[in-house]
Amino acid sequence: MAKVQEESKWYDRIAWGVIIPVVLLSFVSFYSIYNASVNDSTYGTPTRTVAMQIVWYTVSWLMVAFIVRFDAEQIFKLAPYLYGLGIIMLVAVLFLYDRTTAASSGAKSWFVVGPVSFQPSEVMKPAFILQLARVVREHNARYAHNLRNDWLLIGKVMSWFLPVAMLLMLQPDFGTTLVFVAITAGILLVSGISWKIIIPVFLLMVVMGVAVILLVFTSEGQTILRHYFKTYQLERIKSWSDPSGDNSNSAYQLWQSMKAIGSGQIFGNGFNNIKVYVPVRNSDMIFSVVGESFGFVGGVALIGIYFVLIVQMVKITFSTKNAFYSYVSTGIIMMILFHAFENIGMSIDLLPLTGVPLPFVSQGGSALIGNMIGVGLILSMKWHNKDYMFSTAGDF
């Protein structure tokens, strides 16, 4: 049976260590979006873009307050329905996508209703995390860990992952697919699967990644890879290896981002002093605004905020005896960590360019809501403060 700890004061049940970093990141977001919009009116005037971001944050915090009301048992029961709803939206967007956005971006990823656009794959991420956490928890409650049962668990997880991956590749959205890969890998890593499986699979993925990179630089290799990747994706890998080689074409965005960050030097150029044009600076390349405005010091400070946020989430994960919650929080941590690492990494040429926004900072409501749902789930763990000890029969 579930054991409930003695009631504590309400403010002691709030995960302030998670809330404060997110609030700080919201102010970084408002500042960065305003400055990015000063020299680029693509997304509207600076005042309007910041106002819209404030609206999305307000909606997100209201959703967080609603999510916190649900405990582990209720979330556990809702997981399959939320996953199913997410699949329905991913299918629907392939037919009801916004034609204008698809013509400019090449992806069938967005619903548009009046002035509001919405990307269903972003809210699918927390739904996917919940379902995987449920699958792993149910499997571990019924089976002991051995190689046969571990492979069975991998098969179950992949049966939920593959439909999502296939629908995303039909859009196509390779960057978001990588996020789901990271989430899946993180949850499997903490599920108790044997290292005799994890290490060979990891090495195989490394070999495949290196092989793809090497094939990009040969004409025969590119002919093979074009069956699996878009031409612009291959060009992004080439520009990543040599951003100065063709900085007027495929590497232009990356080269401009590096110029902007480099121009900030140690302490940056200060408020409202943006001089370097960077395409899509409001969202994918938002880190370049921080680098140009506040320099190396500002970039390190922003990374420090993410570090504190992740550490606080990890502490909450270790403080719970609830296996389901542990898998959920692992998925959320992997989602936010991968987003931050990939976005900052691609902005400084550490990683190839992908359309992955910077969590809580980049402009856009869909990604913000998806990340804030994750925050709400983490806050729920601390708020309810229950030590669910799963028996083999299962408490849910």
Task: Please tell me whether the peptide bond between 172 and the residue prior to it is cis, using omega within 30 degrees of 0.
Answer: yes
Q: How many separate domains does the chain show?
A: 1
Q: What are phi and psi of 325, to 5 degrees?
A: -60, -40
**Token duo for residue 351:** 């990683």
- pLDDT at residue 286 in the model: 93
Handedness of CA 151, 154, 160, 163 (dihedral sign): negative
E strand or H helix that includes residue 89:
helix 72-96
pLDDT digits (tens, 9 = 90+) for 66-94: 999 998 889 999 999 999 999 999 999 89
> Would 272 be classed as within a structural domain?
yes
How far is the C-alpha of 129 from the C-alpha of 335, rounded, in Å?
Answer: 9
Domain that holds residue 185: 12-387
CA–CA dist 362, 47 (Å, integer): 16
**Encoded amino acid at 269, one letter:** N
DSSP H or E run through 289: helix 287-319
Pairing between strand 111-113 and 116-118? antiparallel
Is residue 24 within 8 Å of residue 305, measured between CB atoms? Answer: yes
Nearest of 22, 27, 38 to residue 282 by alpha carbon? 38
Any domain includes 394: no
Q: Three-class SS string for 369-394? A: HHHHHHHHHHHHHHHHCEECCCCCCC
**Strand extents, DSSP E, the chain:** 3-4, 111-113, 116-118, 386-387
Going from the C-alpha of 309 to that of each of 15, 30, 63, 100, the distances in angstroms are 11, 19, 19, 37
Give domain status of residue 33, yes or no.
yes
Q: What is the pTM of this model?
A: 0.90
Q: Which residues of the chain have pLDDT under 50?
A: 1-7, 387-394
Q: Which 3 state secondary structure label does DSSP give 347?
A: helix
| Phi and psi angles of residue 113, each rounded to the nearest 5 degrees, phi first | -125, 105
At which residue do the structure tokens 């019924």 appear? Answer: 142
SS3 assignment, position 4: strand
Tell me whether residue 295 is in a domain: yes
Contact between 370 and 125 (Cβ < 8 Å): yes
Please check whether residue 2 lies inside any domain of the structure. no
Q: Please report whether residue 283 resides in a domain.
A: yes
Q: Calculate ∠ Cα 56-58-64, nearest 5°.
A: 100
The predicted structure's pLDDT at residue 388: 44
Tell me the CA end-to-end span of the chain in Å, nearest whole number. Answer: 10
Look at residue 4 in the predicted model and tell me its pLDDT.
46
